[in-house]
């Protein structure tokens, strides 16, 4: 069993518990459920740097990154220093995140991606109720039919969808209503990083697809190589979160990629 298999199995158990604890009706009663989401894609296109700065405390591949990090201390700095959007890890068991992190980030009026392992419509109700503007779907853990159904329901809720690919076989699961595709530079099963593989996959997508490079962007040089090869946006977390001042790291990074 791969780490991804373990995460998904654990996630399904979490969802079953969550459904017993909080009903869909209760989620729909929360104050953010009826707010009009910010247009995640529009904000990415408006910002020339296209950086989705991620709030992440730990990960299975890197262990603790910044385990004591607080949303109130990081997200406003991301906004102040040039992030287009913010990604918030909400998985608790493997990433030390929570839906309350998402709710706290909502205070700062910047487009938010709920980054999690979404396998059930219930999680879309959660995402909307806690303030997300966009959700992540990972093609590797979903069928084509599940991607279609989850996307349609997300759109009904006013949420954008970022569909993540890694392997070439993921292309068979592409759904035409999805306008934003992420290519993960890191294989989620082996954790190996391969930028050339990501670039090759980008070149096989339709030109008008907004493409997001994800994971292992550790330098301005990597950013520039990916941008030169057609990527429109860049999801980055560890590079900022490991630093004492994540906002300053972001500002310095943007200054370097301008050069």
Average pLDDT, the chain: 94
Residue 163 has a pLDDT of 97
Q: Which band of pLDDT confidence, cut at 50, 70 and 90, is reported for residue 193?
A: confident
pLDDT digits (tens, 9 = 90+) for 75-133: 999 999 999 999 999 999 999 999 999 999 999 999 999 999 999 999 999 999 999 99
Q: Is the alpha carbon torsion for 12, 5, 141, 188 positive or negative?
A: positive
Residue 208 has a pLDDT of 84
Q: Which band of pLDDT confidence, cut at 50, 70 and 90, is reported for residue 23?
A: very high
Q: Which band of pLDDT confidence, cut at 50, 70 and 90, is reported for residue 204?
A: confident
Residue 164's H or E segment, with its range, is strand 160-165
The CA dihedral of 67, 30, 118, 18, to the nearest 10 degrees, is: 80
Residue 206 has a pLDDT of 81
Residue positions annotated with a catalytic role: 54, 56, 115, 164, 184, 214-215
Residue 49: name the closest of 190, 240, 244, 235 by CA.
Answer: 235
SS3 62: coil
User: Which range has the worst mean pLDDT, 29-43, 115-129, 174-188?
Assistant: 174-188
187 pLDDT higher than 90: no
Q: Which band of pLDDT confidence, cut at 50, 70 and 90, is reported for residue 190?
A: confident
Q: What's the predicted TM-score (pTM) here?
A: 0.95
Residue 1 has a pLDDT of 80
What is the C-alpha separation between 198 and 60, in angstroms, rounded?
Answer: 21
Residue 79 has a pLDDT of 97
168 pLDDT higher than 80: no
Q: What percent of the chain has pLDDT over 70?
A: 99
pLDDT digits (tens, 9 = 90+) for 138-167: 999 999 999 999 999 999 999 999 999 987
Instruction: Say if strands 85-89 and 51-55 run parallel, antiparallel, or are unpaired.
Output: parallel
């Amino acid at each position: 069993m791969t780490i991804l298999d373990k995460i998904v199995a654990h996630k399904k158990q979490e969802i079953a518990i969550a459904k017993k604890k909080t009903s869909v009706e209760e989620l729909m009663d929360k104050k953010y459920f009826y707010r009009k989401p910010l247009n995640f894609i529009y904000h990415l296109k408006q910002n020339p740097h296209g950086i989705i700065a991620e709030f992440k405390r730990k990960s299975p591949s890197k262990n603790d990154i910044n385990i004591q990090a607080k949303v109130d201390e990081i997200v406003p700095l991301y906004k102040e220093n040039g992030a287009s959007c913010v990604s918030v890890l909400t998985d608790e068991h493997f990433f030390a995140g929570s839906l309350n992190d998402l709710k706290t980030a909502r205070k700062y009026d910047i487009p938010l991606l709920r980054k999690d392992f979404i396998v059930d419509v219930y999680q879309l109700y959660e995402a909307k109720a806690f303030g997300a503007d966009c959700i992540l779907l990972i093609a590797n853990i979903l069928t084509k039919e599940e991607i279609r159904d989850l996307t349609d329901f997300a759109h009904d809720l006013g949420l954008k969808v970022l569909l993540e690919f890694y392997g070439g076989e993921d292309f068979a699961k592409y759904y035409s209503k999805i306008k934003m595709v992420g290519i993960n530079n890191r294989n989620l099963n082996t954790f190996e990083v391969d930028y050339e593989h990501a670039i090759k996959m980008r070149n096989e997508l339709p030109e008008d697809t907004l493409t997001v490079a994800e994971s292992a962007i550790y330098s301005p040089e990597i950013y520039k190589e990916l941008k030169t090869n057609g990527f429109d946006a860049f999801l980055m977390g560890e590079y900022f979160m490991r630093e004492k001042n994540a906002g300053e790291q972001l500002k310095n990074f943007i200054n370097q990629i301008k050069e």
